[in-house]
Structure 1
Amino acid sequence: MPDLGLKVKQLKKRKDEFKEALREAKKKRMARTEYEGIPIVRITNKFGSGDRTVVEEFYVLKQYQKPAAYLRDFYWFDQKGNRVTNAVPRDREQAEIQIMHGPYKRFDNGNLTDEGYYYVGAKDGRWEKYDRNFMLVDKVRWHRGFPAEARITYYDSAHTRVKEVIPVEFGKIKGTYMAFHENGRLAEEGRYDNGVKVGRWTEYYPNTTRQFRRKLTQHARDQWDTGFEPYVISEWDEKGKMTYERPKENTVVEEADDN
């Protein structure tokens, strides 16, 4: 007598294997058409000639989606200029602005030199740079537009409205600091050098139509200039009219050293 129970088990196993294969195939197809659950379109861009030929392989959003309001800039593919850029798009229809989203690779003369990811126009995840011998020369981790080490606070529990970004490099507060109003507008921006405010810091009003500065303050050039006393250079009202300007003869330009 045939073992019907065994045949049923074998049939069920084959069905389960078939379903699993279908699921894996679907995942692979989705990986080519979606990133982080958002539909994308693959683009190959080529420019230059000879040993200066550059080829870029990347993805853009299938449908336009406005980048996060807190981004100081965002990356998009300029079809007219034939390049990936973070320049402010001017006089463009939304359909013409192809927002970067998904994996990105750049090849110089056939050699992979840069690779990373974008999330709705912002650098995301690990970005790496290589020399001609494919030796790693630089590696930076990002989290949707901010360095991964940065300390970020939010106005909401869903983490969609950024309140403050404290820059951190190798455990030290260093780099560009940003604070935002609750409506997403930039509230304050400046640089830290090992926990010390340096260079010019700018404060802004929370205007929604046009961003107006509130105050411009000068700090020391670097962390070592401990004797420098910060001073206000200029102040403006909410309509952009200057209400205070420090006399020129008393103003000493002390720009921060970005290096």
Structure 2
Amino acid sequence: MRPFQLLLLLLTALLLATGACSKKTVSFNSKPDSGLAGGVVRDSLTTARDTTNAPSLETNRVVLTKEQERAAKEKQKAAQRAPKKKKNVFLGERIKKGFTKSGPKGRNQIIEVFYYLRTFQQPNDFAPARYYFDARKRKIFKTTDELDPATAKVLHGPYKKLQGGKVIETGYFALGTRHLRWEKFNKDNVLLSKNHYEMGFPRDAQVSYYANDKKRLKEVIPYTQGKIDGDYVSFTEHGKREWEGQFENGKKVGEWTKYWGFRNTKDRRHYVYQYGESGYEPEVQEPVLLKEYNRNGVLVYEKDKLDKRDAVTDRPGSKK
């Protein structure tokens, strides 16, 4: 027997002996992979291309610090939390809501709903009238004097006046002055009047100045629908108040005040006169002197109460 044939027989016998010692099940769909150690077989139906983009079942655990965990929780809470309401702001100023009641309870009770500045600001010196709420007296006041920061809440924002639950007046305030559209209604919701204001001045007012630079205000004559109606005010050449009062239906009504007009002091009253109560009644030709103050601002006369006046007989408007 040739040496080659003898070697082949020995190898065949060795393979038969190995198969007899160990059982091995071979799938018809599988084939040996020469590239794997230990003769491990791989399913031929699964290729490397099929598993390249498959997601891994093992997660990469990210370790967060306590601060990062706290920040993440806060962010999640903020996203779930309802958005905060915007704070009350009118014309760029923060405001607070208020209300006041007056008169008897029931149908005739008057309720005023308004807003005022959270931070005090003095109204314009040239404004015909200034409005504020006194928290102690629970009442809205109208004045031409400087306001006291300790007690005055400067009106600023929407305003509504109701009687018996029905709106009888609406409007807006801006830094203590009437602003934009103001309307009055009767109890049957019928519009009685409508006026427009610009920071206290009637929109249709006739405004005059002492110079062309429009810095030294001289006089403000209010007009509504062609008639003089509203707050009137005049100033001296030095910017001090001279006269103030109110017109209704083209007639002077209520109290009219004449000032001393001193240049380097606050506005000091001189005379206070009383005209008729309504502009729809015959106009009062000669007003009644209610009060008189001396040059130092001391009250020297009050009708039916006080009379410490000097011997002055040429008071304008006084009865003789």
Could you state the TM-score of these two structures normalised by the residue count of structure 2?
A: 0.49
- Does the C-alpha gap of structure 1 residues 41 and 141 become closer, same or farther in structure 2, counting only changes over 3 Å? same
Q: Determine the C-alpha separation between the residues in 2 that align with 1:190 and 1:44.
A: 27
- Does the C-alpha gap of structure 1 residues 119 and 155 become closer, same or farther in structure 2, counting only changes over 3 Å? farther
Match of 1:65 in 2: 121
Match of 2:167 in 1: 112
4+ residue segments displaced more than 4 Å: 87-90, 154-161, 172-177, 188-197, 200-203, 212-216, 237-240, 242-248, 251-254
- Are the aligned partners of 1:155 and 1:162 in contact in 2 as well (CA < 8 Å)? yes
Aligned length: 211
Instruction: Report deviation, 1:162.
Output: 3.1
Q: RMSD in angstroms over aligned alpha carbons?
A: 4.9
- Residue 168 in structure 1 maps to residue 228 in structure 2: no
- Are the aligned partners of 1:164 and 1:178 in contact in 2 as well (CA < 8 Å)? yes
Equivalent position amino acid for 1:67 in 2: P
Structure 2 alignment gaps of length 5 or more:
1-82, 273-281, 286-293, 298-308
Equivalent residue for 2:206, pick from 151, 157, 167? 151
Equivalent position amino acid for 1:147 in 2: P
Q: Determine the C-alpha separation between the residues in 1 that align with 2:130 and 2:162.
A: 22
Could you state the TM-score of these two structures normalised by the residue count of structure 1?
A: 0.59
Q: Determine the C-alpha separation between the residues in 2 that align with 1:174 and 1:208.
A: 32
Q: Determine the C-alpha separation between the residues in 2 that align with 1:94 and 1:201.
A: 24
Structure 1 alignment gaps of length 5 or more:
1-24, 217-221, 226-236, 255-259
Larger radius of gyration: 2
- Does the C-alpha gap of structure 1 residues 74 and 203 become closer, same or farther in structure 2, counting only changes over 3 Å? closer
Match of 2:265 in 1: 209
Equivalent position amino acid for 2:125 in 1: A
Q: Determine the C-alpha separation between the residues in 2 that align with 1:205 and 1:214.
A: 9
Q: Which structure would you say has the larger RCO, counting Cα contacts within 8 Å and 6 or more residues apart?
A: 1
Q: What do the CA deviations read for 1:98-157 (whole angstroms, capped 9, x no partner)?
A: 011111012222211111011111111211112222221222222222322211245799
Q: Percent identity?
A: 29
- Are the aligned partners of 2:259 and 2:267 in contact in 1 as well (CA < 8 Å)? no
- Are the aligned partners of 1:187 and 1:204 in contact in 2 as well (CA < 8 Å)? yes
